[in-house]
Amino acid sequence: MENPHERHHRRRLDFTGKSVTGAGSGIGRATALSFAAQGAKVVVADINANGAAAIKEIEITGGTALPVTGDLSDQTVVDKVIATTVDSFGGLDVLVNNAGIMDGPDATGDLDDAVWERSIRINLTAPFLLTRAALPHLLRAGKGAIVNTASATSLRGSVAGTAYTVSKHGIIGLTKATAVQHRDIGVRINAVAPGGVQTNIQIGESEGAVGPAVFAAYQNNIGRLAQADELAATIAFLASDAASDINGVVLPVHNGWSAV
């Protein structure tokens, strides 16, 4: 019988020797730094050179990180992220799907095709592509975790524009469907649903659009903005052995916003 002390030790937030994906800014950067501080080897994937600064910070503290630069809605970049992780670190243990953009808070009638397609491509298709590319490696190992970044918007329809709201609702579907399909194989898939977070994500706004006026009243109860490292800590928990029986869950991380 396993010693309770040994079981407790095994379920700590310890990622020593594990390989994880992260990013170069916002929640993704905080997540990369958090995993690295707990012993993980990190591939920092980012659309621009932000990844270099995150890698330098990881290396200064004795961690290991490698960059992949490019648009994660591009299958070629997705393949490079997974291949770099597997080839350089000997496998993949944790995939964090965090890349995202905000559309303007556009109502459906104000939304043009380009904004819709770009929002869906980055916020939903990119996590799908990465998940599909990562699964063969996780399933072959019979273990691992995927953590998706959904949104408080995933749980309601009144705090953001249509394209963003639809894309983040889709993340819940991706999370739950994938979790059910692979729950008996040792691979877990969960999501965090943050509210307002202090990051550099940009929110556009079309002049005269319906959305801003309608949604503003619902955003008044958002409360304080979370710090990116608060989300990173939750992501690390869901990816860790401490969450070994948590699967298919969408965890709100927004200081009680949905309870108001």
- The residue range of the domain holding 210 is 4-259
Find the mean pLDDT for residues 176-183.
95
Q: What is the mean pLDDT of residues 152-176?
A: 90
Read off the tokens for 25: 């800014």
pTM score of the predicted model: 0.86
- Taking residues 174-191, what's their average pLDDT? 96
- Report the chain's mean pLDDT, rounded to a whole number: 85
Q: What's the burial of 66, exposed, middle or buried (CB within 10 Å: 0-12/13-18/19+)?
A: middle
Q: What is the pLDDT of residues 195-225, one digit of tens each?
A: 765 555 545 555 555 555 555 555 555 666 6
> Is the pLDDT reported for residue 227 higher than 90?
no
Active site annotation includes 164: yes
pLDDT, one tens digit per residue, over 31-56 is 999 999 999 999 999 988 778 888 99
Could you say which of 116, 164, 215, 257 is catalytic? Answer: 164
Give the tens place of pLDDT for each residue, 81-136. 999 999 999 999 999 999 888 877 788 998 999 999 999 999 999 999 999 999 99
What pLDDT was estimated at residue 30?
Answer: 92
Query: pLDDT at residue 254 above 70?
Result: yes
Those residues with Cβ within 8 angstroms of residue 14's Cβ, 6 or more apart along the chain or in another chain: 38, 39, 240, 241
> Of 221, 216, 214, 219, which Cα lies nearest the Cα of 107?
214
What mean pLDDT do residues 149-168 have? 87
Residue 157: which CATH number?
3.40.50.720
The count of structural domains within the chain is 1
